[in-house]
Structure 1
Amino acid sequence: MTFTTTVAGIPCRCRVTFYSHGAPMRTTGWGYGDCDPDEPEEFEFDILDRRGYPAAWLEQKLTDDDYDRLLSEYHEKRDAWAA
């Protein structure tokens, strides 16, 4: 999935290359060692210029806040697409 966004105020595209919603801890037996640990949500993406070409120079401008914002935008776009 690819969607339009901005990074450092510059218009671009975000191409999602991998997404996993994660999973809570799961108990598989009666003992302490009989469980699978929780798996965190995973989100991987590439930043592309407006023409769709990889923009490594723009990826270098990403901050932690941008990562959270892009994940939130991805959820919004995915939910709108599914509806």
Structure 2
Amino acid sequence: MSFVTQVAGIPCRCEVTFYSRPAPMRVTGSGFGDAEPPEAGEFEYRILDRRGRHAPWLEEKLVEADHDRLLEESLTLQNRAA
């Protein structure tokens, strides 16, 4: 899946290469050790130029807030498609 977005104000595309949802803690019994810890989700992507070519120069401009925003944009589009 890919979608149109911006990085540092530059129009581009984000191609999601891998996504797995986070898993909550799971209790399997009544004892303290009878639980499986929560698992963090994974979100991997590549930034492409407007023509669909990989743009590592643009990936270098990403900041932490961009990673969170791209995840939110991706999830929003997935929810619309469902």
Q: Same fold (TM over 0.5)?
A: yes
Structure 1 stretches lacking a partner, 5+ long: none
Q: What's the counterpart of residue 26 of structure 2?
A: 26
Determine if the alignment matches structure 1 residue 81 to structure 2 residue 71.
no
CA RMSD, aligned part only? 1.0
Q: Distance in 2 between matches of 1:33 and 1:54?
A: 46
Alpha-carbon offset, residue 40 of structure 1: 1.6
Q: Distance in 1 between matches of 2:7 and 2:47?
A: 9
Q: Distance in 2 between matches of 1:42 and 1:66?
A: 15
Determine if the alignment matches structure 1 residue 42 to structure 2 residue 42.
yes
Aligned-partner SS, 1:16 = strand
Q: What's the counterpart of residue 56 of structure 1?
A: 56
TM-superposition CA deviations, 1:24-75 (whole Å, max 9, x none): 1001123222211001222111101111111111001000111111111111
Query: Taking every aligned residue pair, what percent have the same amino acid on both sides?
Result: 60
Structure 1 runs of 4+ with >4 Å offset = none
State the TM-score, normalized to the length of structure 1: 0.91
Q: Distance in 2 between matches of 1:33 and 1:52?
A: 49
State the TM-score, normalized to the length of structure 2: 0.92
Q: Distance in 2 between matches of 1:26 and 1:81?
A: 29
Q: Distance in 1 between matches of 2:33 and 2:56?
A: 43
Structure 2 stretches lacking a partner, 5+ long: none
